[in-house]
Amino acid sequence: MAPADETLDEIPRRRVLYGRRKGRRLRPGQSRLVAEYLPKFEILDLPESVFLSPRDLFPSEIDETWLEIGFGAGEHMLAQAEANERVGFIGCEPFFNGVVQLISGMHDRGVENIRIYRDDARLLLARLPNASVARAFVLFPDPWPKTRHHKRRIVSKPVLDQLHRILKPDAELRIATDDPGYLDWILQHVIGHGGFDWLARRPADWREKPDDWPDSRYETKARLAGRSCAYLRLVSRTKSIDR
C-alpha cells in the first residue's frame, strides 16, 4: 500500500447512498453461493491513512486495473473480465441483488479477476492511488431526473476530480446513458471539468458503441423500449486541472 497524498481533496468520511440496497429475497441456492463465494472477491475494509494498491487485491499478476462504478447485474464487467484475463477489475455496486447476479455469473463461468466493493463508490475512489487505473466505466447511472435530486447524480465535479486523479494519462473513461437530460448534464460537467477530452468527431462516434463494449441487461431493455443510448468515450488529459 502506498502512502496517501496530502494534496488530495477532502476524503469522504461517510457513505451517501440513495435508493434500495436489497430487492428480492434470495433463493436458498443463491444464499449458499454468496456465503461461500463472495468473501473471496469482496473488498471489505479500506485503509485509513494509506492508499489501497489494486495489485494487492489479486493473487495472480495483472497487467492493469479497470474500474466500473455501478455495475448493475454485472453483465458488462463479466464479459470484459472474460475477454481480458490479464486485467484486474474492480466493480462498485451497493445493490445486493446485482452483486448476487455477478457472483453467480463469475461462479458459472470461472471468472476470478474481479473484486467487488458494495458501498459508496466515492469512498473507494478516494483510496485508490494516483494514476493506478487504466480504464473506468460509468454505464447507465441513475439519472435522478427531478431537479431536487440532481445532487445525487454520480457524474459530478468531485467524482470527476477523483477519476481524473486515479486514471493514468491518456486512460479511457466510458460513460453511457439513455436519458437525454442526463446526457446534457454529463457533457456539461465533463467538458467544463477540463481534465478529459471527448473522442467523438462525428455523431456516429457516440451513437454507436465500439465492438469491445458488451451489452448489459439495462441497455438491452432501453433499446427495446425505443430509447436512444449515448456512448461517450473520453481520455484523461495529462495536464493538471485547476482545483
Catalytic residues: 142
Q: Say how far apart CA 242 and CA 194 lie, in whole Å.
A: 8
Q: Determine how β-strand 230-236 pairs with β-strand 167-177.
A: antiparallel
* Residue of 8, 239, 15 lying closest to 129 (CA atoms): 8
The distance from CA 134 to its chain's CA centroid, rounded to whole angstroms, is 12
Q: What are phi and psi of 134, to 5 degrees?
A: -95, -20
Looking at residue 84, the DSSP 8-state letter turns out to be -
Residue 208 C-alpha cell reads as 454507436
Residue 67 C-alpha cell reads as 474500474
Dihedral-angle region of residue 74 (phi above 0 means left; psi in -120 to 50 means alpha; beta otherwise):
left
